[in-house]
Structure 1
Amino acid sequence: MTRMSSSANGIAVAFLAYAVYAFSDASIKALNDALPAYEVAFIGAVLGFAAVPFLKSADDRWTDLVRTSNRGLWLLRFAAGAIGSIASIVAFTKLPMAEAFSLLFLLPSFVTILSVVFLKEDVRWQRWAAVILGFIGVLVVLRPGFRELSVGHLAAAVGGVAGAIAIVIVRAMGPGEKRLSLYGSVLLGTLIVSGALMLSSFTPPTPMEWLFLASYGLLGALGNVLLMNAARMVPANLVAPPQYSQMIWAILFGYLFFDDTIDLPMAAGIALIVLSGLLTLARERKRGTPLPTSVVSADSQASLATAPDVTDPMLPRENA
């Protein structure tokens, strides 16, 4: 197989992974708010264990799910993962899919801001311009004062910030931290936090709701596996940009299944937010720094697929 053919196949697998994530998120929307978000998150986390055997390398042990070189940062990622997963589920439940995606796509901007504050990264005017463009897009989408905002909008913002914190922690911990440990922090965080919230009340799902829950959890796990394989075939800077194809799926699903509508100002705002994210990715690629991998999904594990991991010799090194 030629290098060009391998790259094309890797990019195709990445597009497929993001399509699978979009179907997973649509499954949340299809539940129609019938179940509490923490219950959906708990069942999704249980099913998320299906991806573990595929993420586990030959040198990994099962105990690596909880083993770490920095327990404090691991626990912070544990909390951020749980909050991000539950908040993203609320966002997809309460908002039109395209609107939820557009707000969650602010994640690259949040990564830039947090990287400056906590990692002391040198961020030049081009990346700040992308951040400002993204926030202008949000104002256009939300039009505060002209339309009513809901808990879904707040949840989307919280989900974006929590996802950014989880990604910045990956950067702070360095490439020596095993991917299985990073995956375990979010998986176990979501499982334990949402499980604790379920202790006070549990709504038994109907057979149809179980079908949507299985679709959400298993497709999320499949998306992780597909994206990891895409990252093994091509550098991370080719895997990250196709994530914005999720917006096409969101608009399509919203129109066909959920009676969602998008007016002209919202379309313009979405375009600005997507452009902001693409400019951030392009700038990161030019500087040769780790990409923010701003995968948008209620399954916040997706960013690990292109996270650097020195313990996995199969991953490309030049741009990871």
Structure 2
Amino acid sequence: MKPTSLSVGATARDAAADSRAGIALMVLTTFIFAMQDGISRHLASEYNVLMVVMIRYWFFAAFVTVIAARRAGGLRRAAATTQPFLQAFRGFLLAGEICVMVLAFVLLGLVESHAVFAAYPLLVAALSGPILGERVGWRRWVAIGVGFVGVLIILQPGMRVFSPAAVVPLISALMFALYSLLTRYAARRDSAATSFFWTGVVGAIVMTGPGLWFWEPMSLGDWGWMAALCVSGAAGHYTLIKCYELAEASAVQPFAYFQLVFASAVGLTVFGETLEPNVAIGAAIVVGAGLFTLWRERRRARRLSAPSTGR
């Protein structure tokens, strides 16, 4: 039986509603993560970065464990993988990336750090060829080049570009791009739930040793901020999971750039940072180039998924 036009229309409306809900959840996720970044900056300016990230990961590991235990198959199914070394390296890489990015918040502030970090989709596009074997066309290579011109504008060549502090968020973006590509690679054989479980548990294991080494007493007020950091991290990951359950990644990914807007607003209003003209111009170039690469990737995915006519 062929579907009626009424049922097709209802399906299209449902898909559109899910897409709108997914976009709303992505914007909410970026807001939560921006608040988390502000809290991270405050705590890391008072306490050792490794200790702050360790406590955050303890809560994250507990969160993913509870989520896994409530799913069908429980912890055994969530931990089951045929590529444990890849999954462990992913977890290690993300834990290191978070430490580097939080350090960037302390050294450079939220505005400049996020402006540079916004280049990570360009790095994903550039590295998708050698790591995943994907073809990167000349248009995307041009966009990647333009995006890195924007990064250089932010870093001001000849002034801060050779300063280690200026390079820190760029290293974080490179690490996160590699983590994202390895997550895609792992997804060929493992479920998202398995990758999520390994990310939290491995990160907690990796951070516990160095974090305990740099342990220092924390004031009662800052323990409150630490609790807010842990809860915001869990809440952000939960809304992100729900976002990808409702909508395609290609539809919601461009809205991830709202984190740059929200984090910059926190930096300007809470921490008294300034938005320099070169940072604003460079960030606009980076975001524009990133949106173009995401658009090209979405078009390519649609071409590959389009049914053949047989001619």
From 45, 51, 75, the counterpart of 1:39:
51
C-alpha distance in 1 between matches for 2:258 and 2:105:
17
C-alpha distance in 1 between matches for 2:121 and 2:239:
22
C-alpha distance in 1 between matches for 2:215 and 2:266:
29
- Partner residue, 2:80: 67
Instruction: Give the TM-score of the pair, scaled to structure 2.
Output: 0.86
Do the aligned residues in 2 keep the contact of 1:81 with 1:189 (CA within 8 Å)?
no
Letter in 2 for 1:157: L
C-alpha distance in 2 between matches for 1:259 and 1:148:
23
Offset of residue 223 of structure 1: 0.9
- Comparing 86-95 and 145-154, the one that deviates more: 145-154
Return the structure number with greater helix share: 2
Which of the two has higher C-alpha Rg? Answer: 2
C-alpha distance in 1 between matches for 2:102 and 2:118:
15
Offset of residue 287 of structure 1: 0.8
Offset of residue 130 of structure 1: 1.7
Do the aligned residues in 1 keep the contact of 2:43 with 2:52 (CA within 8 Å)?
no
C-alpha distance in 2 between matches for 1:251 and 1:167:
23
- Partner residue, 1:176: 189
- Partner residue, 1:12: 24
Instruction: Flag structure 2 segments of 5+ consecutive residues without an equivalent.
Output: 1-9, 307-311
Tell me the secondary structure at the aligned position of residue 202 of structure 1.
coil
The number of residue pairs the alignment matches comes to 291
Tell me the secondary structure at the aligned position of residue 190 of structure 2.
coil
C-alpha distance in 2 between matches for 1:55 and 1:189:
15
Instruction: Flag structure 1 segments of 5+ consecutive residues without an equivalent.
Output: 290-316
Tell me the secondary structure at the aligned position of residue 250 of structure 2.
helix
- Partner residue, 1:274: 287
- Comparing 271-280 and 66-75, the one that deviates more: 66-75
- Partner residue, 1:306: none
Letter in 1 for 2:268: Y
Identity %: 25
1:275-308 deviation line (CA, Å, top 9, x unaligned): 121111111111118xxxxxxxxxxxxxxxxxxx
C-alpha distance in 1 between matches for 2:212 and 2:233:
25
- With over 3 angstroms needed to count, the CA separation of the structure-2 counterparts of 1:58 and 1:197, relative to structure 1, is closer
C-alpha distance in 1 between matches for 2:285 and 2:121:
13
1:228-274 deviation line (CA, Å, top 9, x unaligned): 11222222222211111112212211121101001211110010111
Offset of residue 66 of structure 1: 3.6
**Corresponding position: 1:118 with 2:126:** no
Instruction: Give the TM-score of the pair, scaled to structure 1.
Output: 0.83
Offset of residue 149 of structure 1: 5.7
C-alpha distance in 1 between matches for 2:43 and 2:212:
21
**Corresponding position: 1:287 with 2:310:** no
Tell me the secondary structure at the aligned position of residue 144 of structure 1.
helix
C-alpha distance in 2 between matches for 1:154 and 1:231:
32
- Partner residue, 1:214: 227
- Comparing 15-24 and 26-35, the one that deviates more: 26-35
Offset of residue 137 of structure 1: 0.7
